[in-house]
Chains A and B, each alone.
Chain A
Amino acid sequence: NAGVTQTPKFQVLKTGQSMTLQCAQDMNHNSMYWYRQDPGMGLRLIYYSASEGTTDKGEVPNGYNVSRLNKREFSLRLESAAPSQTSVYFCASRTTGQLNTEAFFGQGTRLTVV
């Protein structure tokens, strides 16, 4: 049981380059999330998808786009990378609704923009 899988694990980009971070979950969860973690800032929500076909902005969406490709996959795209987007990115998934459920996280993608 793989859980939440993120690719790549590491990436170095030059300013202005674009890239897509991939995320897939095999737990049949309806909701998926992208967070970034910066030193002293905790985990901040970038975008989320409450169900297949829907996406919404979180706390820090500027400079990012997302696609909920199907129920399993949720990708995060940086169209023109900036040094301020240097961070560790985590994808997560969970079942939402009336249940009290936890989110499951991937291993993270460490992105450096130079």
Chain B
Amino acid sequence: DQQVKQNSPSLSVQEGRISILNCDYTNSMFDYFLWYKKYPAEGPTFLISISSIKDKNEDGRFTVFLNKSAKHLSLHIVPSQPGDSAVYFCAARLNYGGSQGNLIFGKGTKLSVKP
């Protein structure tokens, strides 16, 4: 059973518009959430994160929103640029018992930004 779900395998957006990538989770013990970006033939790179005690975190064109009651987070990219075309992974940290704070990843959403 998936604990971190990215239900949209792909998303296509026009350059300059907003990209919204969504992520749902099932475990209320997640306390830290991260977004990673991955280009082909490269490793994932960290993009932005949010603690469960916050509902918004902003870094330049990237904003992550967290709705704990709905167990939902989203990544907003404004404005979208062709260089943002990549696979985006949502990840959550499970931090209790013997879990050692491992990150659990969703399946990813492939974003295509068209010029």
Contacts and interface: CB of A to CB of B under 8 A. Distances in A.
B105 A48 contact: no
B114 to A, nearest CB: 23
A35 B46 CA distance: 15
Nearest to A49: B100
Interface string B30-42: 0010101000011
Interface string A72-114: 0000000000000000001010001100101111111000000
Given A40-B9, A41-B107, A48-B100, A107 B44 contact: no
Contact of B43 (A44, A97, A107): A107
Interface in B25-57: 32, 34, 36, 41-46, 49, 51
B102 A58 contact: yes
Contacts of B45: 105
Interface string A42-61: 11110010100000101000
Contacts of A58: 102
B102 A90 contact: no
A108 B43 contact: yes
A4 interface: yes
A4 B44 CA distance: 12
Contacts of A105: 36, 43-45
Interface magnitude class on chain B: 20 to 34
A82 B4 CA distance: 28
Interface in B44-103: 44-46, 49, 51, 89, 91, 93, 98, 100-103
Interface residues of A, number: 26
Contacts of A96: 100-101
A42 B32 contact: no
Contacts of B106: 42
Nearest to B48: A102
A43 B100 contact: no
Given A43-B44, A107-B42, A102 B34 contact: yes
Interface of B: 6, 9, 32, 34, 36, 41-46, 49, 51, 89, 91, 93, 98, 100-108
